[in-house]
Every structure is written in structure tokens, then in C-alpha cells.
Amino acid sequence: MTPSQNVILIDDEADLLKALRRLLKAEGFQVTCHQSAADFLAAPRPSGPGCIVLDESMPGMTGMELQRELVAEGSSLAIIFLTARGDIPMSVRAMKAGAVDFLTKPVKDKNLISTIHTALKKSLDLQALKKERDNIRQRFETLTDREREVLQNVVKGLPNKQIAALLGLVEQTIKVHRSRVMAKMRADSLAQLVLLSERLGITGQQSEAI
């Protein structure tokens, strides 16, 4: 029993919450229950990885709406839908938006538990990814505006000379900026710099600042 086995149940059906909580607790999960999306949003989030077993049709904010919100805030909680009335378009939408699975009630314990395990693993990955991205972002944030401009042009694959012409500077200055960027981003090579940039969402095609 690791402390990172957080399972959050969100369903408007109190009796079902009770039953699932019993089952999952018996499996050794750390279970929290909420009767609505609003309740969940108001409550403190668990630290570490976790997954949400989410009912789709609830009074108030629906499961889909909550999922959209969590994706938007970049949460690392993995979502499993558990619904009594699900159709194919709904499940497709949910999966596209990053749900781990779309289960229908009543669900067999083995199915649910194995899905929860998958979800927790995914949450862990998400968390690692998020941590790394946060790290890279912190580094990126130390760059000056000029350095960011240089970085964007470098990852586009432009030679220093051209960048200097573009920014109205001499080539020597670009070289200085470039080495500072490499140092601040802790990149050993140009390839690594491009990779880090991609993680941040800066790609060669995009010239817009983030």
C-alpha cells in the first residue's frame, strides 16, 4: 500500500459512492468521495498521483465539463468515466479529451480496479511530465526577452548571421546571447535545446512567444 493510491469518486448517487468506497477501500485505495463536481473543485486536491472515477450525468456541472476544466488547468489527475447511460459519441469525446476509460454501470470490480491501476500509472507519468515541464519552464523564465527571441529563431534552425539580420544586431552579439541561452536552459547541444523547447510548446513552426 503506497500512499500515492488516491482515488476520487464523483457521483451524485450517494448509495453508489458508499458501495464503491467500500470496495475500493478493501482494495487498499485512498478513497475520497464527492457528490458533485462543484464539491470536488472546492475541496483540497491530494498531493501525488491520483485518479478520478467520474459520473457523466450529474446535476450541475457534468463529468465532461469537469474533465475539460481539469485538462485546461493541466491537472495530472487521470479520469475514468463511469456512467449509467453512455453512448458512443460521448465515449469518443471523453477518450479524445484524455480519459483513461469509459466504463458503464454496473461495472465488475476487476475491470474497475485494473482501470484504476492503469489510471494511477498514467497519473504518475503525467505528474513526472508535469514536473519536468515545470522545471524547463522555470529555466525558460530566467531568459531575458532578447534571449527568448534568439531561442525561438535558433530552434527554427536559422544561422546566427540571419538571426542577427532579423533582429538588427551584429552576429557577435547573437553568439553571446546564444551561449547564454544554452547555459540557462542547461542544454548541452542544439538538439537538446530543440527538445526542451518542444516540451514547452515552442516549435520551429511557431514564431509566437508563449
Partner 1 sequence: MDWVVIVWTGATSASLMLAAIHFFVWMRNRAALASLMFCLMAACTAGMAGCELAMMRVVNVDQLGPILQWYNIFRWGVTLALLGFMHFYLRAGRMWLELTVIGLRTFALLLNLLVSPNAYYSSIEGLSRIIFLGKPVTVVEGVPNPLMLVGQVSLLVLAACLVDTSWKAYSAGAYNRALRVGTSSVFFVLALSLQTMLVLWGVIEVPIMASLFFLGIVGVMAFELSEDMLRATRLADNLQQREIDLRRERKLTDSIFQGAPGLLYLQSRDGTILRWNKRPANPSEVVPTKIHDFFRSDDQHALGEFLEKTFAEGSANFELDLLHPNGSATRHFFSTVRIEIGEEPHLIGVGIDVSAEHALSLELDLQKERLARVSQIASMSELSSSLAHEINQPLAIILSNAEAAQRQLERETPNHNELREILKDIVTADIRAADVIRRLRSILNRGQPDLAIVSPTELLNSVLQILKTEIHSSGAIVSRKIPKRLPTLMADRIPVEQVLINLMKNALEAMHENGTRGKSLVLSCVSEANGIRFSVRDNGCGLPESADWIFEAFHTTKPNGLGLGLKICNTIIQAHGGRLWAENNKGRGACFHFHIPLRPDSP
Q: What is the contact surface with partner 1 in residues (CB under 8 A)?
A: 12-16, 18-20, 22-23, 26-27, 35-36, 57, 59-60, 84-85, 104-109
Write the DSSP string, 134-195.
HHHHHHHHTS-HHHHHHHHHHHTT--HHHHHHHHT--HHHHHHHHHHHHHHTT-SSHHHHHH
**C-alpha to C-alpha distance for 49 and 119, rounded to whole angstroms:** 9
CB of 32 to partner 1, least distance (A): 16
CB of 79 to partner 1, least distance (A): 18
Give me the residues paired with residue 78 across strands.
Answer: 51
CB of 210 to partner 1, least distance (A): 33
Residue 36 or residue 173: which is nearer to partner 1 going by CB?
Answer: 36
**C-alpha to C-alpha distance for 166 and 207, rounded to whole angstroms:** 13
CB of 103 to partner 1, least distance (A): 10
Residue 20 or residue 79: which is nearer to partner 1 going by CB?
Answer: 20
Residue 109 or residue 134: which is nearer to partner 1 going by CB?
Answer: 109
CB of 73 to partner 1, least distance (A): 21
Residue 84 or residue 92: which is nearer to partner 1 going by CB?
Answer: 84
**C-alpha to C-alpha distance for 182 and 193, rounded to whole angstroms:** 7
Contact 68, 28 (CB under 8 A): no
Residue 1 or residue 209: which is nearer to partner 1 going by CB?
Answer: 1
Contact 125, 140 (CB under 8 A): no
